[in-house]
Amino acid sequence: MAVGLLVLALAVGYLVRGLGDADPVGEVAELVRAMLADPAGPALAIGCYALAFALRSWAWCAVLPGLRFGQSWAALHVSLLGNHVLPLRLGEVLRVTSVLRRTELSRGPVLASAVTLRAGDLAAVVVLALLAAPALVPRLIGGWGWLLAAAGLCVAGGGVAWSWRLVRRGAALRLPSPWVVLAVVAAWGLESVVIWEVARIAGFPLSASEALAVTSVTIVVQTVAVTPGGFGSYEAAATAVLGAIGVPAGAAFGTALVTHVVKTVYALAVGAVALFAPAPSYWGWLRLPRRLPARPAREPVADDAPVVAFLPVHNEAASIGRVLARLPERVAGRPLAVVAVDDGSADDSAARAAEAGATVVAHGVNRGLGAAVRTGLADAVAHRPAAVVYLDADGEYFPEDIDSVAGPVLAGTADYVVGSRFAGEIRRMLPHRRAGNRVLTVWVRWLTRRRDLTDGQSGYRAFSPEAAAAAEIVHDYNYAQVLTLDLLAKGFAYAEVPIRYTFRDTGTSFVKLGRYLRRVVPAVHRELNADRPRGGLLRAQGSAAR
C-alpha cells in the first residue's frame, strides 16, 4: 500500500507540472455539468462498455463449455471490482476464484482458459495501441509496448498449449476460435467509446483510432498499476496521450479523470451486484434456491405404528416430570411413545424422566441441543413411527397441543410441521426475547423464501417418518434454523399450526445472543452449501444422515 501511495503521489506531481496554469477542477466540473445536461450520449457509452464485458463473457464460455454466461459475466465483473478496490491488480485472481467457488468446473480448465484469454487480452490491446497510433504510442511507452505485447503473446501461447494438453486428456475445454479472437478485439473497440464520448462532450472530439489509442495506452499502463484502480497512473497516461494528440492540458486531464470515474462507478456498481448474482453468490448460497425438489414419497404406515415424542433434557429436573405427566397416552388414536434424551445433565433429570415413564437415552456428557435433537430423531425413527414430535422439556410449550402439531403429518398433508407461537397464544414472553425471535424469524423467512413462516425458533415440531430419517443437523449447538433449511431443501412439505406458549418458571435458557449468533450464522451458511453443487443444482433428496 505504501508503494501504491508513492506511485499515486508521483503521478499527481507529474500531472500538476504538466497542467501548468490550467484549472483542472473547473474543467471537470464543467464536463460533468455537460454530461448531466445531455445524458443520452454517456448512457450509450456506458452501454458499449457493458457490451464489451458481455463479449468477453461470451468468449470465456466459448472456450470453457461448462461455464454458464451468467457466471462468466459475474467473474469478470467481480475481478473488475477487485481491481478497483485492491492494489497490485489483485482483482485478477478473483475471476478464477469466482468461477471455482460458484461452479463445479475443474481447476485446470478454468485456470488454462482464464490465463489464455487474459494474456490474449493484453497482447491484443498492445497491438491495437501500436496499430491505432503507430507514431505516437512508441514515443510514449517506448520499447515497453513491444515487450508487453511479446510477453502477452508468449503467455497466451503457453495458455493455448496448456489448453491443448488438457483437451487431449479429455477436459471440457476448447481452443480459441477466430470468433473468440474477434470478440476480444471488438471488446476493446467498444470500451474506447467511453473516452470518445467524454472527449466529444468536452469539445475535443477524437477519431476512432485516437480513442482506441488512448484506451489502449491507459490499459497497458494499468497492467502494472500498483494503486487500486490504477488511480494516478491512469490519469497520467491518458492525459499524456490526449496532450500528444493536441488536447489542452486542463481539458485532457478533465477528460481522463471523468472517463476513469465513469468506469470506476460502473465497476463498483455492477461488480457489487456480481458478488451476489447469479446465484450462488461469491460466498456460496445465501438462501434456498427458488426451485426445490419434488416432495419425497410417503411410505404406508402400519395401523399400530405409534407417535413418538422426544424431549432433549439438560438440567431440567424441576420441569421434566410435570411436562411428561401432561402428555396424553394417545395421539389421534395412536399410542404415544416418549423418549427423553439426557444431554449430560448434572442433576437428576434422567431419573425424573424415567419415573414419569419415558425411555431415557443418555449422552453421558453435554454435547449440545443440536446433538440431542439428532439423537432423538434417530431413536424415534427406530420405533417405525407414524409421526415424530419434538418438544422442549422446559415447560414453555403445552404438551396438550401435541394433537395439533402432529395432525398435519398424520393426515398426510405435511412432512414437517412447526408449532407457531406467534400464530397462536403467547401468555408471557420477555420483551427482548420476543424482539429477538421476531428478528430471527424474518431472517429465516428470507432464507427459506417462505412468507407463511411465522416462527423460526419454535421448540415444538413434528416430522413424518421420512423427514425424521432424512433430517440432518450440521452442528451440535442448536438445530432450529438448519433443520428447517435442510428439510425444505430436500422438498419435504412444510406447515405451521398455532400453539400456546408461556415463559419458563424454572431453570435458565442456554441462549445468549452473542454466542447464539456466532454459532448459528456460520452453521446456517454451512447448511445452505452442504452437499449442494455450486452451479445451482439441488442436493439429492433424502441424502444419508451424517
User: Tens-digit pLDDT profile for the chain (546 aa)?
Assistant: 444 444 444 444 544 454 444 556 677 788 889 898 989 999 999 999 999 999 999 999 999 999 999 999 999 999 999 999 988 888 999 999 999 999 999 999 999 999 889 888 887 887 887 788 777 666 666 556 567 667 766 877 787 788 889 888 889 899 889 999 999 999 999 999 999 999 999 999 999 999 998 998 888 777 766 777 777 788 888 888 898 889 998 889 889 989 999 999 999 999 999 999 999 999 999 999 999 999 999 999 999 999 999 999 999 999 999 999 999 999 999 999 999 999 999 999 999 999 999 999 999 899 999 999 999 999 999 999 999 999 999 999 999 999 999 999 999 999 999 999 999 999 999 898 899 999 999 999 999 999 999 999 999 999 999 999 999 999 999 999 999 999 999 999 999 999 999 987 765 655 566 788 888 999 999 999 986 555 443 443 333 333
**For residue 546, what are the contacts with CB-CB under 8 A and spacing of at least 6?**
472, 474
Main-chain dihedrals φ then ψ at residue 23, nearest 5 degrees: -110, 85
Distance CA 155, CA 148 (A): 10
Convert the pLDDT of each residue in 77-115 to its tens digit: 999 999 999 888 889 999 999 999 999 999 999 999 998
Per-residue CA distances from 1 to 78, 186, 234, 420 (Å): 21, 34, 17, 53
Largest CA distance in the chain: 97
Whole-structure pTM value:
0.79
* 305 exposure class (CB count in 10 Å sphere: 0-12, 13-18, 19+): middle
pLDDT at position 534 is 55
Are 245 and 206 a contacting pair, CB within 8 Å? Answer: yes
Give the residue ranges of DSSP H helices in 382-417. Answer: 402-411
Residues in the chain: 546
Residue 310 in 3-state DSSP?
A: strand
Distance CA 248, CA 19 (A): 9
pLDDT at position 536 is 43
Query: What is the torsion angle, in degrees rounded to the nearest 10, for the CA atoms of residue 421, residue 423, residue 426 and residue 429?
Result: 60
Distance CA 116, CA 89 (A): 17
* 360 exposure class (CB count in 10 Å sphere: 0-12, 13-18, 19+): middle
Distance CA 75, CA 267 (A): 12
CA gyration radius, the chain = 32
Distance CA 451, CA 408 (A): 19
DSSP secondary structure code for residue 284 in this structure: B
Q: Which residues pair with 340 in a beta bridge?
A: 311, 360
Helix axes 178-191, 193-202, angle to 10 degrees: 20
Distance CA 50, CA 178 (A): 22
pLDDT at position 7 is 45
Per-residue CA distances from 156 to 159, 177, 225, 467 (Å): 5, 13, 21, 53
Main-chain dihedrals φ then ψ at residue 539, nearest 5 degrees: -65, 160
Cα 335 to its chain centre, rounded Å, is 46
